[in-house]
Structure 1
Amino acid sequence: MFCEANVSIARHLAGGGVMLGVLAVLGGCQAWSPAPEGLDVERVKKSFVERDCPAGGCATVEVGSLRFPGAPGLSERLRDDLLSMGSGITNGESEAVVSSWEEYAQTFFDEAKAARERVPELPGYQAVFKAEVYDRHAELTTIKLDSYVFTGGAHGMPLTEFMVIDEREKRVVTLDDMLREGQTPAYREALSRAHLRWLEEQQAGADFAESWPLSMNRNVAPFADEWRVRYNAYDIAPYSYGQPELRIPAQALEGIVKPRYLER
């Protein structure tokens, strides 16, 4: 069982703020109905606290997300992406697919209770989810999705994903959508150069690069002057390095990325 607090604060993002037009999801995902110009965005806050648990050991789930009243398909896409970021991280065996925060919290609390039965002194499980507008320019809006799940041990696990919305194309786009045909190898090379710059900034030696080699990453946020490529903990560096972000100057992506996604 759990208790819930739910507060939604509507904010109109027309004019100098974020204005999302008619949007649709790629790949057969659910589309959303056309919305009026100046779509409202609601900030949604949810808080769940485990009941019938020892003092100081109760599990919690905190959500600070976004909702788009005029585009329910986009709201569902964002929620589902956040939910998936909190799945498969716990020590439990359950990987059940959930479709609401209420379901997620109950599953999370069930796993916390089972873990306490094995290790009574286990600290309270914690899950935190956030979504925010990260950037908007040239009718491109990037939403940053963050999660942090703690299930005991030395630390929790943070994750970050970007959702890129092309307002002009009226869809959510991926790296493959933004690259020119056949330019994935060139993107990898640009990413490799950005990685070398990052290694120099970290003053990391050759041993570091051998132990933590670069991997391909499609988690990109297209800014006007650069692309930001976010890695998660342990992807290319130890946990102490956090979530490394490699930056590729926009000019280095000319001829690699479709002109639409290099607009300022």
Structure 2
Amino acid sequence: MSFLKFASVACVALTLGACASVFQPNYRAPLETKREAFEHLKPGCDNQDCPLVNIDVVHFPDEPGLDAAIDKRLREMTVNTPDARVPATLKAYEDQFMREAQPRYSSYLQAKVREQHDGIVVVELSSYAMTGGAHGMPGRGFINWSRREHRELTLQDMLVPGQERAFWQAAEEAHRGWLVASKLDKDADFIRQWPFQQTPNIALTYGGVVLKYNVYSIAPYAMGHPEVKIAYPRLNGVIKPELFPGRG
């Protein structure tokens, strides 16, 4: 091969490599989002006790799979009794709620972006249903969405194989730190009544792995939704290294 021909082939290779680099997704740039928010009162009602449904959702035009995951999780969060079925759509849920609602009943559903970093989108989900009684019942959840894999990451996806026990040991240590920070570590009655529990609500935030608890889980209703944070250095060898901020 002549020098000129070799140089030409090398230039083409370099150009293709540069193009491949240019067309890689920029995971440092946040995904575009669009918000959809509305509040509907029960048709025909015109007083201050009208039942209502309030929905506030974020959409991701470039990640339709994440949109679908959010829709599914919000519909699941409307199920408050053992015999209830997951509604086919949020509109179907609203219609059913309005048909059965009594004065002062209300339902709130929200999905918002908590963080975007390192190709991970953390969506926080919230629900609240007032259907009689002294107060309504709130719910919380997270979706950890991998932009690289276009799917939700479960806890098993996050963990190094065989490290689930180590993860929950780290979580229990972090819970003890939460008790100290909340000035509850000396309250023997509180510790006995509200012991540490596992939670499905786990978020890969930039500052640490966050565990969020529903009301009545590790604290009374008045304390809302406690958050326990595990620092990433404590999870070396437990969480997959590529999921640590800055390593992906």
TM range, normalised to the smaller chain?
0.7 to 0.9
Pairs within 5 Å for 1:161-240: 161-204=141-184, 205-240=187-222
Task: Provide the residue aligned with 2:117 in structure 1.
Answer: 137
- Secondary structure of the corresponding residue to residue 33 of structure 2: strand
Whether the 8 Å CA contact 1:224–1:250 is kept in 2: the answer is no
Larger fraction in helix: 2
Q: 1:96 aligns with which of 85, 98, 101?
A: 85
Is 1:111 aligned to residue 100 of structure 2?
A: yes
Task: Provide the residue aligned with 1:35 in structure 2.
Answer: none
Q: CA–CA distance in 1 between the matches of 2:213 and 2:175?
A: 11
Offset from partner CA, 1:198-234 (integer Å, 9 cap, x none): 1112222122111111111231111223111100101
Give TM-score, length-normalised by structure 2.
0.81
Q: CA–CA distance in 2 between the matches of 1:46 and 1:98?
A: 19
Offset from partner CA, 1:51-80 (integer Å, 9 cap, x none): 244733321011110223344332222112
Pairs within 5 Å for 1:141-152: 141-152=121-132
Larger fraction in strand: 1
Whether the 8 Å CA contact 1:224–1:263 is kept in 2: the answer is yes
Offset from partner CA, 1:147-202 (integer Å, 9 cap, x none): 11111222111111110011122221011110111111111111111111111122
Whether the 8 Å CA contact 1:68–1:75 is kept in 2: the answer is yes
Is 1:79 aligned to residue 74 of structure 2?
A: no
Task: Provide the residue aligned with 1:241 in structure 2.
Answer: 223
Task: Output the amino acid matched with 1:167.
Answer: R
Task: Provide the residue aligned with 1:51 in structure 2.
Answer: 43
Change (3 A) 1:72 1:225: closer
Q: Which structure is larger by alpha-carbon Rg, 1 or 2? A: 2
Task: Provide the residue aligned with 2:136 in structure 1.
Answer: 156
Identity %: 32
* Structure 1 residues not aligned, in runs of 5+: 1-13, 20-39, 117-122
Task: Output the amino acid matched with 1:104.
Answer: Y
Q: CA–CA distance in 2 between the matches of 1:183 and 1:81?
A: 27
Is 1:126 aligned to residue 106 of structure 2?
A: yes
Give TM-score, length-normalised by structure 1.
0.77
Q: CA–CA distance in 2 between the matches of 1:95 and 1:135?
A: 32
Q: CA–CA distance in 2 between the matches of 1:54 and 1:251?
A: 56
* Structure 2 residues not aligned, in runs of 5+: 1-25
Q: CA–CA distance in 2 between the matches of 1:216 and 1:199?
A: 15
- Compute the displacement of 1:46 (Å): 2.8
Whether the 8 Å CA contact 2:27–2:117 is kept in 1: the answer is no
Q: 1:67 aligns with which of 40, 49, 59?
A: 59
Q: CA–CA distance in 1 between the matches of 2:29 and 2:216?
A: 35
Q: CA–CA distance in 1 between the matches of 2:146 and 2:64?
A: 17
The root-mean-square deviation of aligned C-alpha atoms, in Å, is 2.0
- Secondary structure of the corresponding residue to residue 189 of structure 2: helix
- Secondary structure of the corresponding residue to residue 78 of structure 1: helix
